[in-house]
Amino acid sequence: MVNVICMRWGTKFGPEYPNRLHAMVSRHLKRPHRFICMTDDAQGMSAGIEARPLPDFDDPGGPERGWRKISTFRRPLFDLVGPTLFLDLDIVIVDSIDCLFDHPGEFLIIKDWVRPWRPTGNSSVYRFEAGAHPELLDRFQREAAQVRREVRNEQEYISRELHNAGKLGYWPAEWCVSFKYRCMAKFPMNRWVKPSIPQGAKIVVFHGHPTPREAMDGVTTKFTRHVHPTPWVAQHWG
């Protein structure tokens, strides 16, 4: 038995997001698993999703940049044991993800696409053992103001701490890809070439714009990132 977890709080994402994610995981993960959504509002979520309250987390305030994800390292994390995969709500799974539980490593995260020379990972997809690394949460709760002066967001903090401890590993580059950097052609070719799924991709990550909905509908928010309507997003999302 393995665990797949996600988090939903506030009003940015409605219940359709964990519902879609649960449906994608159900299609693309063959081994026995639990699907847990930590949330402040469990209404409207599909049967099969285990709703849990958001873990206690003292955030000193300021811009919200995903700091609450650090609470996934609480020990214990509810009744969860064993390999645990965290997934952001706005990803699209396009192929089997069983391999994400087979790949060796104590803690695995996406390697940063923009500045790959840094140890920083992208925390849209990461795997760890439930209950492991409680020191990440403990230190943040003790030194939150200092940590937020040192790093921009939770993924920089998690990556820095685990890199310094020799525990940080990365997914194979082709598994978790950025829609804007890997699926879309570079400007100006993106004005003529439609987005495609790179060979070997398991998960497409949407960060900033376009969102999955914008990609489906071809909504362009930046001149250099023209987006064609992308039907394969709708086919895989949900």
pLDDT tens digits, residue range 118-174? Answer: 999 999 999 999 999 999 999 999 999 999 999 999 999 999 999 999 999 999 999
CA pair distance 137, 143, nearest whole angstrom: 10
Residues in Cβ contact with 212 at an 8 Å cutoff, skipping those fewer than 6 apart: 90, 92, 206, 233, 237
Q: What is the pLDDT of residues 76-104, one digit of tens each?
A: 999 999 999 999 999 999 999 999 999 99
- Domains of the chain (ranges, CATH numbers): 2-170 (3.90.550.10), 176-236 (no CATH)
CA pair distance 124, 88, nearest whole angstrom: 5
CA pair distance 110, 78, nearest whole angstrom: 25
Q: What is the pLDDT of residues 26-78, one digit of tens each?
A: 999 999 999 999 999 999 999 999 999 999 887 656 555 689 999 999 999 99
Q: What is the mean pLDDT of the chain?
A: 95
Q: What is the pLDDT of residues 165-204, one digit of tens each?
A: 999 999 999 999 999 999 999 999 999 999 999 999 999 9
Per-residue model confidence (pLDDT) at position 56: 87
- In this structure, what DSSP letter does residue 50 have? E
Does the predicted TM-score (pTM) go above 0.85? Answer: yes
